[in-house]
Amino acid sequence: MAQVKVVVTLKPSLLDAQGRVVQDALHALGYESVSQVRIGKYMELEVNGDGDLDAQVKEMCSRLLANPVIENYTYEVVK
Amino acid sequence: MRAATATTAPKPQLRGAKPKFAVIQFPGSNCDQDAFFVIRDVLGCPVEYVWHADTSLRGYDAVILPGGFSYGDYLRTGAVARFAPIMASVIKHAERGGYIFGVCNGFQVLCEAHLLPGALVRNVNCKFVCKWVTLRVENADTPFTTAYKQEQLLRIPIAHGEGRYICDDATLQELEDDNRVIFRYADTDGKLTEAGNPNGSVSHIAGIVNARFNVMGMMPHPERASEKILGSADGRGIFASLVSSLVSK
């Protein structure tokens, strides 16, 4: 069994409306040095079985976990 | 390639005297009954609900993907619904040239299913916006809009938190060049102002159609504005256009 940690982020070219709100809130708290706040998604999966784990994870990411039109993904396999 | 129009769009074979509609129900759909009512009671056409776990759309001329929050909109809006068992038949229906109309969450599902280009993301103001808006008809020569005049202004409500339409520049250019932007958000004078764009959609886009002109999606809710008693009957024209496009072949 492998644990897979997936991080999905909005493409950098897209305005992240949530990130902007959080950045404004951080500024309001006095953290003026903060910029470029981006909000993404973090997912943990446990995957059983053999086969090409990388290929499986990439397929899961591009079909469902991320929308390639608007998002990028990265993942890490923890054995 | 010349852009498709209402006259060149596919003309699906009608099975009965009146077109028969399917309204897909996902867990979390909540505008399904409104769409059903408009088709059955306002337009007098046969209509049935089709459950998301069903796999056949045999016998239906047009398919409606209603608004709501399918599968709780978990992960992304429409992302899980896009893989519902019925969606393979929805995609086949589109490939056959059958008419498909997605409203709000239905539009999001169609984008996730790649039946329409682009995506719908969180409104630029991060608010769920529920209000009446003005739409400008950008292309009245489609199977979905023959009941309207070019640049006609429609009063139709929106109710969404994730309705900001975005796409890459090449896709936008293609949509514009082929007249596939069907509705834009406008102010009450029909001008495209920032104030008239409720969610920050690129080029004020409220609704688009696919390259074959048989699949349309829009964020506003025409099914909630199809009778005067509801405050506006402006949305009825879309359903009426679909019926006449299917009947007049």
Yes or no, beta carbons of A64 and B167 under 8 Å apart: no
Confidence band of A79 (pLDDT split at 50, 70, 90): confident
As to burial, measured by CB atoms within 10 angstroms (0-12 exposed, 13-18 middle, 19+ buried), residue B71 is buried
**pLDDT value of position B217:** 98
B83 and A64: CB-CB below 8 Å?
yes
What domains can be seen in chain B, in order of their start residue?
A: 21-247 (3.40.50.880)
Rounded-to-integer distance, Cα B219 and Cα B117, Å: 14
- B 78-97 → A contacts, CB under 8 A: 79-80, 83
pLDDT for B10 equals: 75
How far is A35 from chain B, CA to nearest CA, in Å? 18
pLDDT at residue B115, rounded to an integer: 98
ipTM of the shown complex: 0.89
Contacts with B124 from chain A: Cβ below 8 Å: 15, 17
Domain annotation for chain A: domains and CATH numbers: 2-78 (3.30.1280.10)
Chain-centre distance for alpha carbon B64: 8
Task: Specify the pLDDT at position B59.
Answer: 93
Query: Does the active-site annotation cover B223?
Result: yes
Nearest to A70 among B80, B83, B121 (CB): B121
Q: Spell out a b/e string for A12-23, using b for 16 or more CB atoms within 10 Å of the CB, else e.
A: eebebbebeeeb
Cβ–Cβ below 8 Å for B111 and A69 = yes
Contact B76 A67 (CB under 8 A): yes
Q: Is residue B104 annotated as part of the catalytic site, yes or no?
A: yes
Tens-level pLDDT at each residue, chain B (249 residues): 445 666 667 777 776 789 999 999 999 999 999 999 999 999 999 999 999 999 999 999 999 999 999 999 999 999 999 999 999 999 999 999 999 999 999 999 999 999 999 999 999 999 999 999 999 999 999 999 999 999 999 999 999 999 999 999 999 999 999 999 999 999 999 999 999 999 999 999 999 999 999 999 999 999 999 999 999 999 999 999 999 999 975
Each residue's pLDDT tens digit, B62-91: 999 999 999 999 999 999 999 999 999 999
